[in-house]
Amino acid sequence: MRKPMNKTTYKEFEKVINETENYSFEYSNDKVHVFYDYRHGEQVPSSYSIRQPLFTISLIKAFEIIAPYGYRFVGMKQLKDFSKIEQISLDLSNTPICFRE
């Protein structure tokens, strides 16, 4: 069962991502992209790249999150700490822009 949404800031979001092994993010234009990074020696599914995009969150519109590979989430949900990254990404997306600072 998914936890209720919480407000979060960019600082909290970055802290959770940085402290979670194999996950990263990058800011690009008006979005933040969240990735799963396969490590050396880790089995990479043949249809995936080494840096798998998970979510794209708008920096200018609240409540806008895109999961570019959503149809693959059945496999992604098995990744270690995926639910924690999913939750913080949804929390950031659902936080009004003026409260994210």
Coil, strand or helix: which one is 4?
A: coil
- 6-42 pLDDT, tens digit each: 788 889 989 999 999 889 999 998 999 998 887 755 6
| CA distances in angstroms from 94 to 6, 21, 81, listed in the order given | 8, 24, 20
- 33-84 pLDDT, tens digit each: 998 887 755 665 555 567 888 888 888 877 777 776 554 555 677 778 888 9
pTM exceeds 0.85: no
* Distance separating alpha carbons of residues 5 and 25, to the nearest angstrom: 20
